[in-house]
A and B are shown apart, each in its own frame.
Chain A
Amino acid sequence: MANVRAIRTHIKSVESTRKITKSMKMVAAAKLKRTQQSMNALRPFAAAARDMLARLGEDAAASSGAYTAPREIRRVCYVLFVGNRGLCGVYNTALVKFMEGRLESEEHECFLLVVGRWGREQLGAAHLPVEETIDDIPDAPSEEDAQRLAERIKAIYRAGEADEIILVYEEYLSALRQEPTALRLLPLAAAAEQGEKTPLILEPDAETVTDALVELVLDSTVRAVLLEAKTGEHTARMTAMTAASDNTEQLLDKLRLELNHARQSAITTEISEIVGGANALEEGKHE
């Protein structure tokens, strides 16, 4: 019967969908593990770099290199960290919505630097002032990838293309919660430590030490944000793919039931046909 065949085909296609979502879930889980490890490993480094800069405090402001000196803000650059692809729930769309909200209340002229391949394909429709898209950062970024991104961001600031740089990404609050957030990277505001402090010896001199430390803080911040965004992306994809796999499972159960019904009724029809035929023959004999 055609109906049975149609259901069988449907079951087959759902089964292959399930295979795909299941393997995407496993791939996301493996990538998640790697980025999460790197993210956790980086934390003490980033924290120590910020501590040191805070300890430097006023000295840092005094020698004020290119990154710490306050500037008159004319142009703002938003660095938007989206995923490399979709299929991760509301991860990307939540970011775009958040970004649109930010831009509405932004008084200065501004433009976007988008990090993530998804941006190249999907952001056109969102009418955001995208000036550049970096789409070759892999799912599990290495130190070099992060460094390349940090250099690009610093270059934009140094060249005066923007006077303020804000990173927009999904903050990784827990495996179940990620929230879009904005973090000002530049100009770098060094939170000075409070209280009397013994003056520091700076070797070889204040400027060199401050510059080295500022670079460290900027680089590690960009790297931390990138890893956090990626960890969030993989988590979101894993959740989405788990839900999709569960859905296919339910759909398969329903289809199997339907298939059994269809098969059953086909058999019943066939039997009643045979019985009917036999009866007709019987009746014919008696006459």
Chain B
Amino acid sequence: MAGRIRLQVVTPSGTALDRRADYVRIPLPEGSLGVLADHAPMLCTVAKGTLRLRDEDGESSLAVGRGVARVENNEVTLLVEAAGEE
């Protein structure tokens, strides 16, 4: 089964990532935030760092810039200034 979380990474120059995952780890200014399905609604600031995600195929990652993230209804949306492969 595909991951239960829909993860979107949106930058001013377009959507960098839109896929499903089981687990997402967002870099925060202090530490990081792990999100599993059915996480409580949340808004947080995102620090420059590495976004990690896990699905049935294993783990992958994406470098992201500063921004904000929203977690709600199993949707994780990151609004960041830039994103790209490490």
Contacts and interface: CB of A to CB of B under 8 A. Distances in A.
Given A45-B79, A48-B79, A204-B29, A213 B14 contact: no
Interface residues of A, number: 26
Given A44-B10, A52-B68, A213 B43 contact: yes
Interface stretch (A102-110, A157-165, A194-202): A194-202
Given A48-B79, A204-B29, A204-B30, A216 B42 contact: no
Contacts of B13: 38, 41-42, 143
Interface string A197-235: 111111110001100110010001001000000000000
Contact of A41 (B12, B45, B67): B12
A49 interface: yes
A223 B10 contact: no
Interface residue range, chain B: 20 to 34
Contacts, number: 70
Nearest to A210: B43
Interface in B23-63: 28-30, 33, 40-45
A211 to B, nearest CB: 9
The 6 nearest A-B residue pairs measured at CB? A203-B44, A41-B14, A201-B42, A212-B45, A45-B10, A198-B41
25 contacts: A41-B12, A41-B13, A44-B10, A44-B14, A45-B10, A45-B11, A45-B12, A48-B77, A52-B70, A52-B79, A143-B12, A200-B42, A201-B40, A201-B41, A203-B28, A203-B42, A203-B44, A203-B45, A204-B30, A204-B44, A208-B45, A212-B67, A216-B68, A216-B79, A220-B12
Interface of A: 38, 41-42, 44-45, 48-49, 52, 55-56, 143, 197-204, 208-209, 212-213, 216, 220, 223
